[in-house]
Amino acid sequence: MKNNIKILVISLFFTGTVFAQNGQALIKKSINEQQSNLVEEFRTFLSIPNVAVNPKGLQDNANWIKNYMQSKGIEEVSLLTLPNSSMPPVVYGEVKVPGATETVIFYAHYDGQPVDSSKWFPGLHPFKPALYSGSYENGATVLPWLSAGNNYDVNARIYARGASDDKAGVMAIINAYAQLKALNIKPTVNIKFFFEGEEEAGSPNLEAFLELYKNKLASNIWVICDGPVHQSGKKQLVMGVRGDTHLELTVFGPKRPLHSGHYGNWVLNPAMELVRLLASMKNEKGEVTIKGFYDDVIALSTAEKQALANIPSVEDQLKKELGINATERTGALNDALQLPSLNINGIQSAGVGKYSANVIPTKAIASVDMRLVVGNDWQRQQQKVIDHIKAQGFFVTDKEPTDEERKLNAKICMVVQDKKSYNAQKTSLDNLYVRRISKAISLVDNEQPLLLPTLGGSLPLFVFEKVLKTSPVTVPIANHDNNQHAENENIKLKNFFEGIQVFSAIMTMEK
């Protein structure tokens, strides 16, 4: 009986901004009381390996999420698959809200970047989550997991692959709804859940998948949870993402490794050829010197320029934190991210350190990634690089060179083009949901989120507009120093808990 009265009171209460604020206070209190459970459930989730080379692990993740959603009271949950593909299942769910006329679909992904556990700090392992008092790099110490009823220091961090990118998103979205349901707060919109399992592999099947499930996935807006909040710690609403494409370049030297004494000076060293090639791609000012590299870029709108100007300066803080004195491009970080980029992800030829030997290596490999902005086309951008390599005198091939090709060409570069690339996407700042979602997020801590024209990172968001004619916006929750895409990935508990609040606020956003 008491319960019923409470529900009635809440239902009466939470209409209008003031009431929504009080709703947020209730949700915050409730999350606070459930800290240890939430962390324990997150920890269990993070223990399931989620890398592309392990399809069974991805399936296990999908099954876990499905059960977890059902346990949180989401009734219509299913694993959707794309027939005749290797696409891991999408975990899908729906909540229909009586009287709601709009539908918001929430996206996150449960797969993670590849891992090399040997590179993680001692005591850390990608799939053995560990809790630390803060940032490991800054000397944090390991903490115990707490039993029910105990509270964590919210500056503590969980270390594991996917902790921030992007299992945190899955957890925050599900628990946002779970909180509303537990507190009997009625969402203002119909809710759809969409958890993908191959985002880090470039979502090669997403477009076909959306085509197949077009009707089921109808919505007014996609809300994507991925990436980090602003380096200042401020929340942000992100209108777009850069596109992403890769090339792997292999320069060939002699067919067998040669003694660097007996042949050094005479036989071309492929590592030297590769470094000269890479060095030719960018100047000291950080400008890519590949012909036409910036040609397709569409200029920013006035509103976008204004939004960028509103972003607080974090450059000095970042330099200190990262231990760097200078940057590649002068000026603000977010100005630099409005341009296409070219970055060496990795480079390798023979061995260094204890593996170094006195050889002329047989080949040298560089993995290069390029970020794209609106206007760029990934195939055109790849071609510009290939043309540049040719202009440096290389014979370009897409496979190991034949003896005949070796005989005919002084310099040979194998270019493996990533076909799972995608273009940038940007939602207009005029989109009506921008204002409403912005306002909802502001209820969490009484501060307007920053409006970011584009995230530096990439997601295949263009497909939502292309297939479903629906725009996406991104609401990141992770701390900016989360080591996303690298070893020692982590999330700050404060960001995890506030993330839950953020999505519950969006699920209850006003007109």
DSSP character string of 230-241: -TTS--EEE-EE
Window 214-233: residues binding its own copies (CB under 8 A): 227-228
Q: Which stretch binds its own copies (CB under 8 A): 11-19, 171-179, 181-189, 281-289?
A: 281-289
Instruction: Specify whether the CB–CB gap between 377 and 271 falls below 8 A.
Output: no
Amino acid at 144: P
Amino acid at 141: T
**How many Å apart are CA 90 and CA 108, to the nearest integer?**
10
Q: Considering only residues 28, 72, 161, 246, which one is a binding residue for its own copies as defined by CB under 8 A? A: 246
**Contact between 341 and its own copies (CB under 8 A)?**
yes
Instruction: Specify whether the CB–CB gap between 177 and 504 falls below 8 A.
Output: yes
Tokens of 446: 């009484």
**Contact between 134 and its own copies (CB under 8 A)?**
no
Dihedral sign, Cα of residue 257, residue 260, residue 262, residue 266: positive
**Contact between 256 and its own copies (CB under 8 A)?**
yes
Q: Which is nearer to its own copies, 51 or 217 (CB)?
A: 51
Q: Which stretch binds its own copies (CB under 8 A): 24-32, 98-106, 189-197, 479-487?
A: 479-487
**How many Å apart are CA 183 and CA 309, to the nearest integer?**
39
Q: Considering only residues 49, 57, 253, 499, which one is a binding residue for its own copies as defined by CB under 8 A? A: 253
Instruction: Specify whether the CB–CB gap between 103 and 191 falls below 8 A.
Output: yes
Q: Which is nearer to its own copies, 208 or 272 (CB)?
A: 272
Q: Which is nearer to its own copies, 305 or 411 (CB)?
A: 411
**Contact between 399 and its own copies (CB under 8 A)?**
no
**Contact between 126 and its own copies (CB under 8 A)?**
no
Q: Which is nearer to its own copies, 49 or 457 (CB)?
A: 457
440 CA to centre of own chain: 23
**Contact between 238 and its own copies (CB under 8 A)?**
no
Q: What is the dihedral of CA 366, 367, 373, 377, to 10 degrees?
A: 90
Strand 455-458 with 258-259, pairing: unpaired
| Peptide bond between residue 166 and the one before it cis (omega within 30 degrees of 0) | yes
Q: Which stretch binds its own copies (CB under 8 A): 99-107, 151-159, 290-298, 329-337?
A: 329-337
Q: Considering only residues 337, 437, 444, 502, which one is a binding residue for its own copies as defined by CB under 8 A? A: 337
Nearest by Cα to 68 from 91, 49, 36:
91
Tokens of 245: 């494409």
Window 28-57: residues binding its own copies (CB under 8 A): 53
What is the residue whose two structure tokens read 């799972």? Answer: 420
Least distance in Å: CB of 380 to its own copies? Answer: 19
Window 442-471: residues binding its own copies (CB under 8 A): 455-458
**Contact between 409 and its own copies (CB under 8 A)?**
yes
Q: Considering only residues 348, 417, 431, 470, which one is a binding residue for its own copies as defined by CB under 8 A? A: 348
Q: Which stretch binds its own copies (CB under 8 A): 60-68, 142-150, 341-349, 495-503?
A: 341-349
**Contact between 371 and its own copies (CB under 8 A)?**
yes
**How many residues can be counted in the chain?**
511
Size of the site for its own copies (CB under 8 A): 101
**Contact between 326 and its own copies (CB under 8 A)?**
yes
**Contact between 212 and its own copies (CB under 8 A)?**
no
**Contact between 122 and its own copies (CB under 8 A)?**
no
Q: Considering only residues 219, 269, 421, 495, which one is a binding residue for its own copies as defined by CB under 8 A? A: 269
**Contact between 203 and its own copies (CB under 8 A)?**
no
**Contact between 390 and its own copies (CB under 8 A)?**
no
Backbone angles phi, psi at 105, to 5 degrees: -110, 125
Segments of 144-281 assigned E as strands: 157-159, 190-196, 221-224, 236-238, 240-252, 258-259
**Contact between 285 and its own copies (CB under 8 A)?**
no
Q: Which is nearer to its own copies, 183 or 281 (CB)?
A: 281
Q: Which is nearer to its own copies, 97 or 272 (CB)?
A: 272
Q: Considering only residues 4, 116, 139, 302, which one is a binding residue for its own copies as defined by CB under 8 A? A: 116
**Contact between 296 and its own copies (CB under 8 A)?**
no
Dihedral sign, Cα of residue 91, residue 222, residue 50, residue 157: negative
Tokens of 47: 């223990």
Burial (Cβ within 10 Å: 0-12, 13-18, ≥19) of residue 465: middle
Instruction: Specify whether the CB–CB gap between 210 and 426 falls below 8 A.
Output: no
